[in-house]
Chain A
Amino acid sequence: MLKTIRLGLLAGVTAGFLAALLYVVDYGPGNSLDGVAQWFALDSQGAGRIIGFLLMLVLGTVFGILFGTVTGRRQVTLGRSLGVGLLMGFIWWVVAAFFLGTVINHLRFNLSFWLATFVPLLVYGLLLGSISFRWRIQQA
């Protein structure tokens, strides 16, 4: 169990890093990372991007651990791993972007906001499930 949680943690931080890179490549670079910091009302002109990047890594790790805990006990298949990974990305979006961002911190919810937050976090989930499954197969 501890082994799968550790694997989930490593897969989570890797997927979080890759998802953060999706927010780095823009006209800024990294203007979109300020948006990540906004979900938690931690945005600022100077440090917003760095805070956003760190949040992606930290939350990526947290959801990786959660993923490891959920998938730890049972025999995992590729479909289940991808499915649970996508679910983690969805939960991240509901909790951080939707609830904290729009409900608590009053960010404007529109098509642009939904696309810019929902899709990259689902990609995170897919990467998490895919990387984690690969590493579990290699270790078995």
Chain B
Amino acid sequence: MHISSSPRDTGTERDAVAASTAFAPVTLGEGSLVVLALVRLFAGLLWFQQLFWKLPPDFAGLHRYVVTESQYTFLPGYAYIIQHIFLPNFLLLGAFTWSAELLVAISLLFGVFTRFGGLLSTLLALQLYVGLAYAPGEWYWTYGMLVLIGVVLSVIPTGRRLGVDQWLALRLERAGKTLRVARLLRWFV
């Protein structure tokens, strides 16, 4: 039993208890996890649907947006990169963009390496924010929100419910004891 010698000691102890409670790990309930998984699913649908207006082999729908980015980006020097590197190699840019978005869509829809999908979607959305947020007819928060959704999906393991990650997590946990690659991959589920 602990007996405090002064009222000051009791205050310090109370502060310590309050601090440990405030910073204790938060465990989400089953309902919250399923809701987050559904959010992940529909975020994946968002990326999935954007594949259809810029389909290979010509990625035609993408071209006018890249041109718009070159005219309205707020990042100094980015317009130069778009005009002199991206646009002359448009097919390569289109293939990269389309593949990256497909990867994000598959990752989020199927909950497979979901946090990697979230991270990649954050990068893609950041690029859109930098290029398109201040273009005429655009609402800057559209791309801002897209970035924020990506950030949330890269820090919360939403694939652990209604996703392949619930199966992968256990296997990577076991393999992580001996394999460094598995330890690295574990972060993405």
Q: How many residues of A contact B (CB 8 A)?
A: 18
A26: chain B residues at CB < 8 Å are 49
Contact in complex: A131, B45 (CB < 8 Å)? no
Beta-carbon contacts of B159-182 to A below 8 Å, as 1s and 0s? 001111011001000000000000
B39-63 interface with A by 8 A CB criterion: 41-42, 45, 48-49, 51-52, 55-56
Give the distance in Å from the alpha carbon of A78 to the alpha carbon of B168 in the complex: 10
Query: Closest CB of chain B to A120's CB: distance in Å?
Result: 8
**A interface, over-half SS:** helix
Of all chain B residues, which has the CB nearest A25? B45
B162: chain A residues at CB < 8 Å are 126-127, 130-131
The verdict on A22 contacting B45 (CB below 8 Å), with A112-B52, A123-B110 known, is yes
Contact in complex: B109, A82 (CB < 8 Å)? no
Question: Quick check: is A115 within 8 A (CB to CB) of the other chain?
Answer: yes
Of all chain B residues, which has the CB nearest A80? B167
Query: Closest CB of chain A to B15's CB: distance in Å?
Result: 41
Give the distance in Å from the alpha carbon of A79 to the alpha carbon of B170 in the complex: 11
Give the distance in Å from the alpha carbon of A26 to the alpha carbon of B41 in the complex: 15
Question: Quick check: is A122 within 8 A (CB to CB) of the other chain?
Answer: yes
Q: How many residues of B contact A (CB 8 A)?
A: 22
A82: chain B residues at CB < 8 Å are 164, 167
Give the distance in Å from the alpha carbon of A44 to the alpha carbon of B56 in the complex: 30
Give the distance in Å from the alpha carbon of A119 to the alpha carbon of B163 in the complex: 14
Of all chain A residues, which has the CB nearest B30? A134
Query: Closest CB of chain A to B69's CB: distance in Å?
Result: 23
Question: Quick check: is A2 within 8 A (CB to CB) of the other chain?
Answer: no
A25: chain B residues at CB < 8 Å are 42, 45, 49
11 additional A-B pairs beyond A18-B41, A122-B110, A123-B110, beta carbons within 8 Å, are A22-B41, A25-B42, A78-B170, A82-B164, A112-B52, A115-B48, A116-B52, A119-B106, A123-B109, A126-B162, A131-B162
Interface residues of chain B, those whose CB is within 8 Å of chain A, are 38, 41-42, 45, 48-49, 51-52, 55-56, 105-106, 109-111, 161-164, 166-167, 170
A-B contact pairs, 19 of them (CB 8 A): A18-B38, A22-B45, A25-B45, A25-B49, A78-B170, A82-B164, A111-B55, A115-B48, A115-B52, A119-B48, A119-B105, A119-B106, A119-B109, A123-B41, A126-B110, A126-B164, A130-B161, A130-B162, A131-B162
Interface residues of chain A, those whose CB is within 8 Å of chain B, are 18, 22, 25-26, 78-79, 82, 111-112, 115-116, 119, 122-123, 126-127, 130-131
7 cross-chain pairs, A with B, having the tightest CB-CB distances, nearest first? A130-B162, A78-B167, A123-B109, A79-B167, A22-B45, A82-B167, A126-B110
